[in-house]
Chain A
Amino acid sequence: MKDLGAIAVFVLLVGLIPFCTDSGVTLNFVMTALYACLLSQAWNVLGGFGGQFSFGHALFFGTGAYAQAIVQMQWGLNPWLALPLAMVFSAVVGALVGGASFRYGLKGSYFALVTLACAEVFRIVAVTVPFTGAGVGLMLPLRESAASMQFGSRAGFVWLMLGLVALALLVTSWLKHSRFGAYLQAVRDNEDAARAIGVNPFRVKLAATVVSAALMGAGGAFYVQVFQYIDPGIAFGPHTSVEALVGAIVGGLGTLWGPVLGAVCLHILADLTRNLFGALPGINMVIYGSVLILIVMLLPSGVAGLGRYNPLRRKSTKVPPE
């Protein structure tokens, strides 16, 4: 299939970068850009394909991050085992939050608010309870070896992240070419019409939340492995939620490459501004906000929509009167 070929080429090209350079700056840039891609792709599964806009995806990110740290430090498991477990933990939290929200028919801004609130609840709980290290956070003991997922060079992390991004790309491509994906988009576009022709919207949205949460959890686990530290603010703060959703919206909702494009564009932009305005921490959030406004106004189908831009498409967002 065309998509699978494109994914293979992408993985091959990015995978070769560490062979072409050992510049720590370049590899670090590639790694963090891929990381941003993963977050946006995770959000895109639920937000782009499912039309359920979550403002609290940090909830799943933080769950994955803490699970990765706790499973290693307190259960003594290998980080390579901890990673899938972290994804499972995030998926379970996704099932609980999604289940509760969709059971009571929360949609649109109500769903967004509930996810935002849940992330905040988790942040406060993480500050309080002892097994998350409370406000101090958790510091992963330094054990530099590939076996403990702490690579000596950035190259290892680039390949690990590339593997996770490839997984997210495969999941997204499956959404584009499967019954489940068709049902998910049908529910996004018109829930009642979907119900009338045999789609169970609750089950479909719940499954999308679980998948999205698991991918987001992988992002959190990766964060812990790279920075060897997690605290409640990093884990459940709004920054990660915003990064995930802005990348997907800027890139193009419900597309395969949109979140990748969006996340990379934003990442370059944020990096440039950090160099220009180094003295202003948090300036990247200002940039994200401004870009988001511009994109929503000028390019509602995102950067990925530029290629197949046609004026009819914009006109057709208005339903003509009957």
Chain B
Amino acid sequence: MSATPLLKIDGISKSFGGLRAVHDVSLAIERGSLTALIGPNGAGKTTLFALASGFIPPDAGRVHLDGQDITGHPPHRNAVLGLTRTFQIVQPFAAQTVRENIAVGAHLHLARRSAALHYADGIARQVGLEGQLDKLANDLTVAGRKRVEMARALATRPRLLLLDEVLAGLNPQEIAEMIPVVRAIAHSGITVLMIEHVMQAVMSLAQHVLVLAQGQLIAQGTPQDVTSNPAVVEAYLGHGTAERLRKAAAQAALRESTS
């Protein structure tokens, strides 16, 4: 049994001037898993994505994709190897139609224009964009453009998909519609690492959760594990909160039993 994880990050660090955005982070993503990366604002999640996908070279540490060292590779080479990312702030090819947007991704494996445009149709169905194929990407709602972002990445036939907050900025209904799309991607055999703030999605989608705070990995485990981890609670709600919450809970329990 091959035990090499699909993505392996060893002691990766990146500073911007005096700010240590990511400090000595190591993690492994297993093949076929759906992992969520969570953490408070400014924790370094997006920087970690940029480091893994090659948009930013790390100051230290290594990145391995399926056992191959890809540290410092530019993003387009990583895409060829099967690592593709989306952006938190959607980056559509605004003046092009949805079909043309997706076809650019499909061209990674399909040289013919007609083949790529045809392939885009199938991908659009997968993410629920089949009715919007001929619209300009910029005429879509935010939810629509998030789908374009995902579709374009899917069209490259990735092995590992890094999703950066695909649910941010969506209303509850749109979130409810998007969750099955992400789940279907994972079920189709693509390994997914997603940055997410919407805990409802994290709890229902992820098998494994990584928690980043102030550039360091402070916890990981199942969704239930990490949400009850005092370090995680403190990272989100401030130092001492976990202790206060625990005491409050204990007192409530005490009142309950004495009354």
Does chain A bind chain B? Answer: yes
Q: Is A200 an interface residue (CB 8 A)?
A: yes
The number of residues on chain B lying at the interface, defined by a beta carbon within 8 Å of a beta carbon of chain A, is 40
Specify which of A177, A194, A197, A313 is in contact with B155 (CB 8 Å cutoff). A197
Q: Is B247 an interface residue (CB 8 A)?
A: no
Q: How many A-B residue pairs have CB under 8 A?
A: 93
C-alpha gap A193/B138 in the complex (Å): 14
Q: Is A178 an interface residue (CB 8 A)?
A: yes
Given contacts A186-B93, A192-B87, A196-B86, contact A322 B142 (CB under 8 A): yes
C-alpha gap A193/B164 in the complex (Å): 13
Report 13 cross-chain contacts, Cβ distance below 8 Å, ordered by A residue. A179-B112, A182-B107, A189-B95, A192-B55, A193-B93, A196-B53, A196-B75, A197-B105, A197-B152, A197-B153, A312-B139, A316-B139, A319-B94
Known: A182-B103, A183-B104, A189-B93. 11 other contacts (CB 8 A): A179-B110, A179-B113, A196-B85, A196-B153, A197-B79, A197-B108, A198-B79, A198-B84, A198-B108, A199-B104, A200-B74
Q: Is the CB of B96 within 8 A of A189?
A: yes
Q: Is A145 an interface residue (CB 8 A)?
A: no
Q: Is B91 an interface residue (CB 8 A)?
A: yes
Q: Is the CB of B156 within 8 A of A197?
A: yes
Q: Is B92 an interface residue (CB 8 A)?
A: yes
Specify which of B91, B111, B168 is in contact with A179 (CB 8 Å cutoff). B111
The number of residues on chain A lying at the interface, defined by a beta carbon within 8 Å of a beta carbon of chain B, is 26
Q: Is B136 an interface residue (CB 8 A)?
A: yes
| Chain A stretch 271-322: residues in CB contact (< 8 A) with chain B | 312-313, 316-317, 319-320, 322
7 smallest beta-carbon distances between A and B, as pairs: A198-B79, A189-B93, A193-B91, A198-B108, A316-B138, A197-B105, A195-B75
Q: Is B169 an interface residue (CB 8 A)?
A: yes
| Chain B stretch 67-119: residues in CB contact (< 8 A) with chain A | 74-76, 79-80, 84-87, 89-96, 100, 103-105, 107-108, 110-113, 116
Q: Is the CB of B105 within 8 A of A178?
A: no
Q: Is the CB of A195 within 8 A of B55?
A: yes
| Chain A stretch 129-179: residues in CB contact (< 8 A) with chain B | 177-179
Q: Which residues of B contact A189 (CB under 8 A)?
A: 92-96
Q: Is A190 an interface residue (CB 8 A)?
A: yes
C-alpha gap A312/B152 in the complex (Å): 24
Q: Is the CB of B87 within 8 A of A196?
A: yes
Given contacts A182-B104, A198-B108, A322-B142, contact A192 B152 (CB under 8 A): no
- Residues of A with Cβ closer than 8 Å to B? 177-179, 182-183, 185-186, 189-190, 192-201, 312-313, 316-317, 319-320, 322
Given contacts A193-B152, A195-B74, A198-B156, contact A316 B85 (CB under 8 A): no
Q: Is the CB of A186 within 8 A of B104?
A: yes
Q: Is the CB of B87 within 8 A of A193?
A: yes
Q: Is the CB of B94 within 8 A of A200?
A: no
| Chain A residue nearest in CB terms to B103 | A182
Specify which of A177, A178, A190, A317 is in contact with B92 (CB 8 Å cutoff). A190
Q: Is the CB of A179 within 8 A of B142?
A: no
Specify which of B84, B86, B89 is in contact with A322 (CB 8 Å cutoff). B89
Q: Which residues of B contact A177 (CB under 8 A)?
A: 113
| Chain A residue nearest in CB terms to B90 | A322
Least Cβ–Cβ distance between B232 and chain A, in angstroms: 27
C-alpha gap A161/B187 in the complex (Å): 58
C-alpha gap A200/B91 in the complex (Å): 17
Least Cβ–Cβ distance between A87 and chain B, in angstroms: 26
Q: Which residues of B contact A313 (CB under 8 A)?
A: 136
Least Cβ–Cβ distance between B85 and chain A, in angstroms: 5
C-alpha gap A317/B139 in the complex (Å): 9
Specify which of B85, B100, B104 is in contact with A194 (CB 8 Å cutoff). B104
Given contacts A190-B93, A193-B92, A195-B74, contact A319 B111 (CB under 8 A): no
